Structure 1
Amino acid sequence: MTGSMIGADVDALRTLAAEFERDADRLSVLADGLGASLQSVHWAGADAARAREAWRTEGQPRIRAAADRLRQAAADLRWQAEEQGAASAAATASALAAGAMGALGAAGAVGHAGTAESGAVADLRAAADSGSPATVAAAWRKLSASERESLIRDDPGLVGNLDGVPASARDAANRARLDPERAALEEQRKELVAAKAGKAELAAVEAKIRSIDAIKETLELSDRHLLTLDLTQERAMAAVAIGDVDTAQNVVVFTPGLNSTVDGALARHDNDMRLVRQECLMSAPRSTTATVTWIGYQAPQSTADSLTDPHKSVVTDAAAHTGGHQLAQFVRGLDAARETDAHITALGHSYGSTTTAAAALELARDGSTPIDDLVLFGSPGILTNDAADFGLDGGGTYVMEADRDPVADANAFGGDPQDADGVTNLAAWDSRGHSQYLSANGQNKYGDLMSRGNIAAVATGHPENAIEQPGGNHGSGDAARKAAPGLLGLAGPAGAVTGAAVGLNDFIRGRH
């Protein structure tokens, strides 16, 4: 029958899925916003208590359930689009195979098809060994749906941490690993206790158990995706996304710094990224945004062992370069796994800003970086004095320094980031010290924190809406640094650690 179609328009399905996801995001923002308003309004008494309890137990859960149903519908639509695309490709392949069978014989053609399927899996394993996320992404696309499902089920350790594999597959594989990995760690803990092992060895295993528990608790929240689960090093590493990094128009990747661990920091930073995403959705409601908390490296710790090891210490940039390579691979993978380009913004705080800068410099050496914008705050240094080195064609490098932030005054890894050529300094006027850039309370035209509002403006592609601070924020810490290079006359543990960082780093680099 001419003029009829069996199947579906793949592009239309994907467009509809994106619309469903945008609507789900709006509902999530509405649920959070109404709840906050109901809590903050001046209203006391029995009626107020009943209203707040009804909202908590009935109203908010219903809105969130509706958002979850929309997200599930979006996921179903994308699955249908993928199946339809695969079916169309299979139909084309079937027609070609039919011609080949006529020439070569049915038995030979069937044998060749079997070899091709196993060859696709072998190609993926070879791609994994290559270390190229782009090669991995190309190999993954050649797998059939059944091959992908089999790999997720039978080899989740390969799929879950493989940069270049779509987030949906990584999430499914990593979730499947959580309980078996925890059980194995529990057995290891029992063996260590029985063997009367040292405290440090036992503590490391127990920290990994707590890390898995922290991940599982975070994944219970709406629209979370586990993109990395790595237990092979001293401390657990993980990356958790909010939203769909495979399809969102804007993707924000946040790297924290000193003392960041999965068991100790994931919950807090995941909430920070929830608030950043909410700011993005409010400032650009017609676009979709996904955020990632990336604790995918061994962040330096303020322990004697870490401080004295030049490969681990916050006083050198070695851990930043090691972590920067891992972050660069992660970002390459996000970009390669997508069908369309995203606006990718890399955020870095404290030592995480140095790690982010190291990743950006590595990506720039590729000749074309997936990162569109950098936002670096509370930074002890960004490894360059010229933002052009980051290779952000058409994008920008943005720096924020709050008042009384001793780490941002350290200049430990390069000059003051605020003074680097090509940097745009953004205001953080309602933040104080080193740790309030994402979590302080204040009021501005974007929401409840100026620095979050500035991040949202950049991350959604509207940097013109960010509040600039020309010349940066040069306070007493900068004056102390100039008066006594290598040491900061600032009180408190942060000042002590960064003062030591500057002094020891200068000594190691021969600037004493």
Structure 2
Amino acid sequence: MRRRRWKRVLIGAFAGCAVLVDAGAAAAQAAASTEQVAIATPPAGSAAWLQDHSLGRALPNPATASAGAVAGFFASLTPAETTRLLAEYPLVVGNLDGAPLNLRYRANRAALSAERENALARAADPSLDVDTRALAVSRANDCGHLLAPGRQILAFDPRGRGLVSEVFGDLATAQRVSVLVPGSDADLGHHDQAAEPLRSPAGMARALLAEAERQAPETRTAVVAWTGYVTPSGLGPDAVTSRLADVAAPRLERLLDGLEETTSPDAPPALFCHSYGSVVCGVTAPHLPHATGTTDLVVFGSPGMGVQSAAELGPGVQVWATRNPTDWIGNVPYLEVGGLGHGADPTGSGFGAQDVSSTGAAGHNGYLTPGTESLRNFAAIALGRYRSVSLQPPAAG
């Protein structure tokens, strides 16, 4: 009993620090937040997929098959066999890392269309209460937006708040690839926001791609907005523990394994990790392969990475970090006590990261605002133009 009470006190202390510096919306979020159910299992249809022996052989297990095995499996299929599997198991095919990119885009369009139709049916069902029907309308609209021509949906899972990953640029031919790992409140409904685009993964990815293309129009670049894990909701208990990050990390590893099979950039994909996303990247980093090169890992607005120094993240990463003076995350305690908190400040002098300048950025979501030093630096890192990156001057004294 005493231990649980102490844990509640610590959670309140961590959340309270953030609330004090962003009192209005953050306080409401903290009050309304609830613990989230992490998604670790394969999508709907996986059980039937595993029982399907119509090809005379077992289909790759969505939970355990390597990206290389998945790539080899699809390479062995005839066009007719591929089309049938897509039609019968769109959610499975669309989420299989290692499957051909265009096949996944097609499968996820089919899955989104089916989810939109299901949502519209729920919205029109008079036996459902008003709130349920309103949520169904929202879900239908979210799916409809992602079905717009030209959108490239790399993964989609309608469970819970909804997971989605989207590609910007031509991933198949890209020389430089970046993956945007978002923080709290990212989900299907907040993946792409028109009113405040830089609060959404899709908006941040678009900004990064546009700046990279401005700096190096001759370089083929692509950015993946990876809303591919269950994120914390608001500033509740999930935001101050690594529980959701621990489940997210293997999913991010599988994404990167799949990209290794289906793309051929000049360097490993760079990871851009915002807020709680930097906790996910911290858990993932020690498992990144380094035989093919060093992974650039950029953390911004970070509450910590679950470690005390960059050296603990392994030899396969180069850590870049930034936090602007008006970002409320700087008021959250940088420590870890009894599983609460996320360790040292990545922008601290003893952490071992390259402290990137973010001049011009404001607030927790302003790092990819056009004209800021942070956005310019992020694009330079994404392009591998490290000499162009401006670092934060050392603190006086």
CA shift in 2, pair 1:131/1:367, >3 Å: farther
> Of the candidates 342, 345, 361, which is equivalent to residue 413 of structure 1?
342
Show CA shifts across 1:264-286 (max 9, x none): 34242323322211221232333
Aligned counterparts of 1:431 and 1:202: Cα–Cα separation in 2: 39
CA shift in 2, pair 1:157/1:239, >3 Å: same
Would you say 1:468 and 2:397 are equivalent positions?
no
> Of the candidates 323, 329, 352, which is equivalent to residue 277 of structure 2?
352
Aligned counterparts of 1:260 and 1:326: Cα–Cα separation in 2: 16
Do the aligned residues in 2 keep the contact of 1:161 with 1:229 (CA within 8 Å)?
A: yes
Shift in Å at residue 389 of structure 1?
3.5
Letter aligned with residue 55 of structure 2: S
Residue 173 of structure 1 is matched in structure 2 by 107
Letter aligned with residue 416 of structure 1: D
> Of the candidates 391, 401, 421, which is equivalent to residue 323 of structure 2?
401
SS in structure 1 at match of 2:225: strand
Show CA shifts across 1:182-231 (max 9, x none): 1112223444x50448x4x5565444323213323xx43xx531101100
Residue 8 of structure 1 is matched in structure 2 by none
CA shift in 2, pair 1:459/1:179, >3 Å: same
CA shift in 2, pair 1:341/1:166, >3 Å: farther
SS in structure 2 at match of 1:325: helix
Aligned counterparts of 1:117 and 1:259: Cα–Cα separation in 2: 41
Letter aligned with residue 215 of structure 1: L
Would you say 1:148 and 2:85 are equivalent positions?
no
Do the aligned residues in 1 keep the contact of 2:174 with 2:265 (CA within 8 Å)?
A: no
More helix by share: 1
Residue 290 of structure 1 is matched in structure 2 by 222
Shift in Å at residue 472 of structure 1?
7.2
Shift in Å at residue 129 of structure 1?
4.2
Do the aligned residues in 1 keep the contact of 2:174 with 2:264 (CA within 8 Å)?
A: no
SS in structure 2 at match of 1:417: coil
Do the aligned residues in 1 keep the contact of 2:176 with 2:265 (CA within 8 Å)?
A: no
Letter aligned with residue 462 of structure 1: R
Residue 92 of structure 1 is matched in structure 2 by none
Shift in Å at residue 165 of structure 1?
1.1
> Of the candidates 32, 55, 66, which is equivalent to residue 118 of structure 1?
55
Flag the structure with larger Rg: 1
SS in structure 2 at match of 1:427: coil
Q: Percent identity?
A: 28
Shift in Å at residue 155 of structure 1?
2.5
Q: Which runs of 5+ in 2 are unaligned?
A: 1-52, 335-340
Would you say 1:319 and 2:221 are equivalent positions?
no
User: How does 1:188-207 map onto structure 2 within 5 Å?
Assistant: 188-191=122-125, 193-196=126-129, 199=131, 205-207=136-138
Would you say 1:239 and 2:179 are equivalent positions?
no
Do the aligned residues in 2 keep the contact of 1:404 with 1:433 (CA within 8 Å)?
A: yes
Shift in Å at residue 130 of structure 1?
2.1
Show CA shifts across 1:274-316 (max 9, x none): 221122123233321001111111211128xxx2xx5xx2122
SS in structure 2 at match of 1:254: strand
Do the aligned residues in 2 keep the contact of 1:332 with 1:370 (CA within 8 Å)?
A: no
Return 383-392 or 402-411, whichever deviates more.
Answer: 383-392
Do the aligned residues in 2 keep the contact of 1:345 with 1:374 (CA within 8 Å)?
A: yes
Residue 230 of structure 1 is matched in structure 2 by 157
Residue 444 of structure 1 is matched in structure 2 by none
Letter aligned with residue 297 of structure 2: L
> Of the candidates 139, 142, 155, which is equivalent to residue 211 of structure 1?
142
User: How does 1:122-133 map onto structure 2 within 5 Å?
Assistant: 122-123=57-58, 125-133=59-67
Do the aligned residues in 1 keep the contact of 2:60 with 2:73 (CA within 8 Å)?
A: no
SS in structure 2 at match of 1:175: helix
Show CA shifts across 1:343-392 (max 9, x none): 3111111112212222223x33x675887211110000111123233335
CA shift in 2, pair 1:339/1:379, >3 Å: closer
Do the aligned residues in 2 keep the contact of 1:127 with 1:139 (CA within 8 Å)?
A: no
SS in structure 2 at match of 1:211: helix
Letter aligned with residue 186 of structure 1: L
Return 276-285 or 449-458, whichever deviates more.
Answer: 276-285
Do the aligned residues in 1 keep the contact of 2:164 with 2:191 (CA within 8 Å)?
A: no
Do the aligned residues in 1 keep the contact of 2:155 with 2:228 (CA within 8 Å)?
A: yes
Bigger relative contact order (CA 8 A; separation at least 6): 2
CA shift in 2, pair 1:384/1:189, >3 Å: same
Equivalences, count: 331
Do the aligned residues in 2 keep the contact of 1:214 with 1:262 (CA within 8 Å)?
A: no
Residue 49 of structure 2 is matched in structure 1 by none
Would you say 1:433 and 2:363 are equivalent positions?
yes
Shift in Å at residue 163 of structure 1?
1.1
Residue 183 of structure 2 is matched in structure 1 by 257
CA shift in 2, pair 1:205/1:324, >3 Å: farther
SS in structure 1 at match of 2:239: coil
TM (norm. structure 1) is: 0.59
Aligned counterparts of 1:204 and 1:367: Cα–Cα separation in 2: 44
TM (norm. structure 2) is: 0.75
CA shift in 2, pair 1:208/1:369, >3 Å: farther
